[in-house]
């Protein structure tokens, strides 16, 4: 009992001493590890994911893959411009951007730290058009850019009483590697990291800016999330306060509030 109490006090102290802010938004967060420390794990995990799922990874010659990659490249260019213009180029200096498409019925897409992106074909009918797909990809890229993976990993480290090892040593720590693999579901056929509500709304806002800079009208994000809501109505959702994701109404309302800011960056191509 005493040992558990001591560990709890240490974890709380570690959490308070490791608070920082998201550079792009100023939101307070727990930060035991930097995105750069997580990159070696992300690059390794992404390679393992592609190897384990190579039978369903679409070749570059596939029309769907080409479309997704083209949109991804426009978003990547927009993100690089945004980060350079706002003095945050260092946050993505070590990114190794890559976009792949997986043949799957799952409505899913994700971006690992370091710019490693996967889009599942199951979400393409819901995205419907290029702007819808840019909404999804911009949102997922925003999770990576804002350091949400490192934040979630930090939360898990505190929960398990693991201190930050620092530098590359972090990626060689079996416990931290296990946390990363658990968050991304590495070793299972499909992977997805579950983020918190604040992180989701933050990614929505940044994603709108990224898609606008890439030449996609951010107004289309509303119709996408409405379609996404309709597509997921088959399963009963938990109340918002019990969910890691915001309710559909909350998300759409926040997007509507963020549109004026995003529209300033929009230039049709």
Per-residue confidence (pLDDT) for residue 230, from 0 to 100? 87
What pLDDT does 163 receive?
A: 55
Rounded Cα distance between 229 and 247, Å, is 9
Helix locations, the chain, DSSP H: 2-17, 35-52, 63-85, 124-127, 130-145, 148-159, 174-184, 197-213, 220-231, 248-263
pLDDT of residue 249: 87
Within 8 A by CB and 6+ apart from 59, the residues are 65
CA 96, CA 131: separation in Å to the nearest integer? 24
Q: Which residues are catalytic?
A: 140
* 153-175 pLDDT per residue, tens: 766 766 666 555 444 455 566 66
User: Residue ranges of the chain with pLDDT lower than 70?
Assistant: 1-20, 34-36, 154-155, 157-177, 179-195, 233-244
- Residue 28: the pLDDT is 75
Tens-place pLDDT, residues 65-118? 999 999 999 999 999 999 999 999 999 999 999 999 999 998 889 999 999 999
Every domain of the chain and the residues it spans = 32-263
- Give the pLDDT score at 242: 44
- pLDDT at residue 153, as a whole number: 74
């Amino acid at each position: 009992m005493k040992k558990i109490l001591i560990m709890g006090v240490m974890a709380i102290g570690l959490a308070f001493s490791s608070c920082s802010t998201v550079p792009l938004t100023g939101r307070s967060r727990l930060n035991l590890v930097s995105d750069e420390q997580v990159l070696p794990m992300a690059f390794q995990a992404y390679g393992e994911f592609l190897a384990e799922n190579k039978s369903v990874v679409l070749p570059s010659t596939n029309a769907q893959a080409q479309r997704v990659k083209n949109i991804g490249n426009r978003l990547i260019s927009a993100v690089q411009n945004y980060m350079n213009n706002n003095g945050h180029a260092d946050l993505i200096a070590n990114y190794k951007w890559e976009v792949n498409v997986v043949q799957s019925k799952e409505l899913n897409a994700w971006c690992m730290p370091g710019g490693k992106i996967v889009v599942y074909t199951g979400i393409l009918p819901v995205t419907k058009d290029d702007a819808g797909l840019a909404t999804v990809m911009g949102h997922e890229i925003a999770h990576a850019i804002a350091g949400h993976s490192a934040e979630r990993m930090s939360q898990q480290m505190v929960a398990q009483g693991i201190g930050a090892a620092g530098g590359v040593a972090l990626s060689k720590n079996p416990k931290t590697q296990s946390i990363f693999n658990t968050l991304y579901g590495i070793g299972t056929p499909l992977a997805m990291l579950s983020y918190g509500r604040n992180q989701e709304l933050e990614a929505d806002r940044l994603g709108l800016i990224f898609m606008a800079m890439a030449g996609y009208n951010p107004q289309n994000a509303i119709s996408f999330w409405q379609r996404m809501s309709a597509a997921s109505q088959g399963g009963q959702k938990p109340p918002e306060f019990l969910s890691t994701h915001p309710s559909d109404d909350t998300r759409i309302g926040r997007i509507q509030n963020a549109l004026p800011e995003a529209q300033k960056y929009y230039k049709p191509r």
